[in-house]
Amino acid sequence: MNRLLFFPAVLAAAILPAAAEQSTVGGLLINGSTTKPEIIGRLLDTKPGASFTPALWSEDLRRLANSGYFYDVQGGSRAAGPGQIHLDLNLKNKFSTIPIFKFKQGGGTSQLTVGLYEVNAFHRLLEIGGQYERMNAKDGGVVWFRHPYFGLRKNRLGAELYAHTLNLPLLSKKGEPQAHFDNEEIRGHLWLEREISPRFKTALTLNCYRNGFEADDSTAEQAARNGAFLQNNRLNSGRTASLTPGAIWGRLDQDDHLVEGRRLKIQAELADRALGSQFEFVKLEAEAAAALVAGERWNLAGQARMGTKSGHEFQHKFYLGGLDTVRGFLDGQFRGEHMWLVNLEARPTILERPLWTLQGNLFADASKTWDARGFGAEGFRNPFLSFGAGLRLIVPRIYRAIIRLDAARTQEPLRQWGLSFGLQQFF
């Protein structure tokens, strides 16, 4: 377990409460971390020489636990002379070098992904990663960078660059192939997130990407489907340049595999010719998530997402279905200019050991995508539904090491069983 010491609750055991409120931080000793102590110090608002505030120290400990970098966070104190308090911070880093491997073959498509990323590069909590991709004899890749304290403790900076080939999901709502096109994509993102308060953040992302669509006419059947699809639809290749401002309210607190709290995220992607874009649209998204711990062994969680956009280009639509949105369906099976999504989960702890935890999962997913002039009532008729159960194998000493397996039974628009296997919690 994350042995997180909330300072106000145990303050009386260390020093007199009245003295604590009037104390100065005489020293701060950081032990056990493979991250450089000066980097840990940059993540704290409690500083040596400053007045000691119990609430601020508790918030520092919570921030470190929520970061995901450490599997053990302990804070303590001791008297250091008249009017002074000495703080001890003991941290244990998770294993931070993570391999990436994925292979998928079927439906005439072969896709291989191999990569590696490090979240404590140079012992400074910098994330650097890259992966090689090969799809149907076409090479590509992705590189990315994260800086969790860019300039100031409250700033997070990130950048990603993609140059790869993807399948453009063109499926009917029942999962039948409508057309076969590859999406040759070059895409870059640069984002900055700013913490205004512990429960409010703002963000701004600069996006630039170029999509080129190439028909896969390798069989007569695919060529016929592609021709029929293009008679009624247009695939517009080109460049998109956009800005995405956003805001986040609330917080989800992490204690090992348990999550608790509430969070609301709102963002708007704005593409305009003034930015150099060949397409113009506004894409609005809102996401709410909540979780609570029920008793000692149950974690209840839910999320709801909603989105709407202008414009009709296929590369800008919402795509749902598969491992990360609606289980039991194919990846990208549902597409539209408007969407909503609800996921509910009950996660019982089955076994808990020092090095691993086995968690169960009972879930229900509901969603809908559609094309229309606006976000209207038609989008709530006959939603796509699935429910099922799964398992989570959680290894707390490895960064993001959650292996999940879900078996889903779909109800609408067709009934079938689907199996999902992946990494990290569903949400």
**Structure-token pair, residue 50:** 């400053």
Task: Report the pLDDT value the prediction gives residue 8, as an integer from 0 to 100.
Answer: 37
Q: Are the CB atoms for 138 and 110 separated by under 8 Å? A: no
- 125 by Cβ neighbours in 10 Å (0-12 / 13-18 / 19+) ranks as buried
Work out the angle at residue 76's Cα, subtended by the Cα atoms of residues 73 and 79, and round it to the nearest 5 degrees.
Answer: 165
171-202: per-residue pLDDT in tens?
Answer: 998 999 999 999 999 999 999 999 999 999 99
pTM comes to 0.89
305-348: per-residue pLDDT in tens?
Answer: 999 999 999 999 999 998 889 999 998 999 999 999 999 999 99
Task: Report the pLDDT value the prediction gives residue 420, as an integer from 0 to 100.
Answer: 84
Task: Report the pLDDT value the prediction gives residue 374, as an integer from 0 to 100.
Answer: 76
Task: Report the pLDDT value the prediction gives residue 23, as an integer from 0 to 100.
Answer: 87
Q: Which of 71, 69, 124 is nearest to 98 (CA)?
A: 69
Assign 280 to helix, strand or coil: coil
Q: Which of 216, 117, 131, 201 is nearest to 170 (CA)?
A: 216
Assign 249 to helix, strand or coil: strand
Task: Report the pLDDT value the prediction gives residue 255, as an integer from 0 to 100.
Answer: 86
* Angstrom distance (rounded) from CA 77 to CA 277: 56
Q: What is the CA radius of gyration of the chain?
A: 24
Q: Are the CB atoms for 42 and 28 separated by under 8 Å? A: no
* Domain annotation for the chain: domains and CATH numbers: 7-93 (3.10.20.310), 168-423 (2.40.160.50)
CA atoms within 13 A on the CB side of 221: 4
Q: With a cut of 50, which residues of the chain have pLDDT below it?
A: 1-19
Task: Report the pLDDT value the prediction gives residue 106, as an integer from 0 to 100.
Answer: 67
Q: Are the CB atoms for 314 and 332 separated by under 8 Å? A: no
Q: Which of 280, 258, 285 is nearest to 425 (CA)?
A: 258
Rounded (10°) CA dihedral 391, 395, 401, 402 = 10
